Amino acid sequence: MLHPRGALRHSPLAAVILTGGEVDAVAGLLHLRERQAFTLFATARVHAVLRANPIFDALSAEHVTRRAVPLDQPFDLPGGLTAELFAVPGKVPLYLERAGDDDMSGEAEDTAGLRIASAAGPAVFFIPGCARIPASLADRLRGAALVLFDGTLWTDDEMIREGSGEKTGARMGHMSVAGPRGTMAAFRDLGVRRKVLIHINNSNPLLLDDSPERTAAERAGWEVAYDGMEIVP
Amino acid sequence: MLHPRGALRHSPLAAVILTGGEVDAVAGLLHLRERQAFTLFATARVHAVLRANPIFDALSAEHVTRRAVPLDQPFDLPGGLTAELFAVPGKVPLYLERAGDDDMSGEAEDTAGLRIASAAGPAVFFIPGCARIPASLADRLRGAALVLFDGTLWTDDEMIREGSGEKTGARMGHMSVAGPRGTMAAFRDLGVRRKVLIHINNSNPLLLDDSPERTAAERAGWEVAYDGMEIVP
């Protein structure tokens, strides 16, 4: 947005919807300070996390309207779209864990999935973090036109094995893509028309075009998201 | 740092020194979470700002050592370098201002300049934010080998005039590059051997290679920093 030759600062963003309070979900807000007018939708729990961090006051109330939305209740977005947040299995953000607290007992509002739909068109699901797929979530996604889903890790312990981290995927609230309890298996019979893996950790061999893991994911009907990807209905 | 083909996550950073608590000074820390071991140096005041924002707990105490350093007292860095923070005129971070509080009364520890030197070599100064240059600061910088200095705005009201912001430079704690009380004028007789403008706002015409402002700055002996710039002694 370099613009010393006349064009004003401009962002096409009209709304931001947060599905959680983890660093990778909220840190980008700090780039939207200074006269970017938009509405910020999130659960009351995630709004409380932002309020507990004064640095987010850089998003001034004059320009950014914060709206707490309850789970499972559709709300209107600018442009005639409807959105809805719903609970998915997850956990409290890592930086809010108390010492020794390594269970998965996030509150329902800590990790959400997002459904967006236009009046006429099919629904899109955005679920960047998900610890497992219970029957209720499977039912919700069945037959969907498009699901963007948590592709953090290929296998649960890959960060530990390669020495880049000390946490398993389960510990971080992410189910793995591979394996009998993984994402590919869970989606196999859901009849989702288009499936895209997002939120991919840099340890995940999926990122390599020529890896056997990429081939396996594509054979299972998955696409792998990339920077600048555009999705046309 | 994409590395699914074997190389471990790696950062060459051994130390991070903060000169203030403003968003643009501290938000980058959030990219250094997860097993990046380094020492974080800052004034006690800036450390308190970080502590007041739980999101920075993403920098775990296990890997990141936080060291509060007093102003005007040199401290050792890894690699045989010596550093020193000193007060420069500035202000409290914008997001910590109380309503109606638009004076420049930051505490001394809110805005610092940094001096780094090796045992044998000349000193380098890093001053990304500075509201004015009092005689004490001029004396400190006189004859320096290299100064990297606040180049936020060319003129105090340029963000207002172009409609990209509602604050003057003075309001934000930044002196302007041009003008009789600007940076070029203040440095004219200091005999600094190499002068580089940094922290340049995207409203600043300096950013354009072919602008008259760029020409004026270069004629006054200034370089304009750019992404990826390397400085070789």
* Cβ <8 Å between B203 and A34: no
A166–chain B Cβ distance below 8 A for any pair: yes
Helix ranges restricted to H, chain B:
23-26, 44-51, 135-141, 158-161, 169-172, 183-187, 212-219
* pLDDT tens per residue, range A170-198: 888 899 999 999 999 999 999 999 999 99
Report which of B146, B199, B144 is spatially closest to residue B175, judged by C-alpha positions.
B199
Query: What's the number of domains chain A is made of?
Result: 1
Task: Give a yes or no: residue B200 inside a domain.
Answer: yes
Residue B91 lies inside a defined structural domain of this protein: no
Q: Is the pLDDT of residue B6 over 60?
A: no
Cα A113 to its chain centre, rounded Å, is: 7
Size of interface A-B (CB pairs under 8 A): 91
Q: If you write DSSP's letter for every residue of B110-123 in order, what string do you get? A: TBEEEEEEESSS-E
Residue of chain B with shortest Cα separation from A210 = B5
- Nearest CA of chain B to the CA of A213: how many Å? 11
DSSP sequence for B122-154: -EEEEES--S---HHHHHHHTT-SEEEEE-S-S
Residues 77-116 of A with CB under 8 A from B: 94-96
Q: How far is B213 from chain A (nearest CA, A)?
A: 11
In a domain, residue B208? The reply is: yes
Report ipTM (2 d.p.).
Answer: 0.86
Q: Would residue B150 count as lying in a domain?
A: yes
Q: What percent of chain A has pLDDT above 90?
A: 67
Question: A136 CB near a chain B CB, below 8 Å?
Answer: no
Spell out the residues 6+ positions from residue A117 whose beta carbon is closer than 8 angstroms to its own: A81, A82, A83, A123, A124
Kindly give the residue spans of alpha helices, DSSP state H, lying in A65-162: 135-141, 158-162
> Which chain B residues are within 8 Å of A96, Cβ to Cβ?
54, 57
Q: pLDDT digits over A7-55, tens only?
A: 455 667 889 999 999 999 999 999 887 677 899 999 999 999 999 999 9
The residue among B150, B110, B151, B146 whose CA lies nearest residue B130 is B150
B5 touches chain A (CB under 8 A): yes
Which stretches does DSSP call E strand in A5-122?
15-17, 38-42, 64-68, 75-76, 81-87, 112-118
For residue A203, the chain B residues in CB contact (below 8 A) are: 3-4
Q: What pLDDT, on a 0 to 100 scale, did the predictor assign at position B33?
A: 76
| Structural domain includes residue A126 | yes
pLDDT at res. B8:
52
The band of B9, judged by pLDDT with boundaries at 50, 70 and 90, is: low
- Which one-letter DSSP state was computed for residue A98? P
Question: Which domain covers residue B197, as residue numbers?
Answer: 122-227
Q: Which of B34, B95, B202 has its CB closest to that of A55?
A: B95
Residue A76 confidence (pLDDT) above 50 = yes
Instruction: Indicate the residue of B1, B58, B207 with minimum beta-carbon distance to A23.
Output: B58
In a domain, B51, yes or no: no
Burial class (CB in 10 A: 0-12, 13-18, 19+), B73: exposed
Q: How far does CA B150 lie from the centroid of its chain?
A: 7
- Whole-angstrom distance, CA of residue A190 vs CA of residue B126: 57
- Assign residue A130 the CATH number of its domain: 3.60.15.10
**Could you tell me which residues come within 8 angstroms of residue A28 by beta carbon, excluding any fewer than 6 positions away?**
none
Q: Which residue in A has a C-alpha nearest to residue B95's C-alpha?
A: A58
Taking the CA atoms of residue B172, residue B175, residue B181 and residue B187 in that order, the dihedral angle to the nearest 10 degrees is: 170
Residue A18 belongs to some domain of the structure: no
Q: Examine residue A52 and state whether it is found in any structural domain, yes or no.
A: no
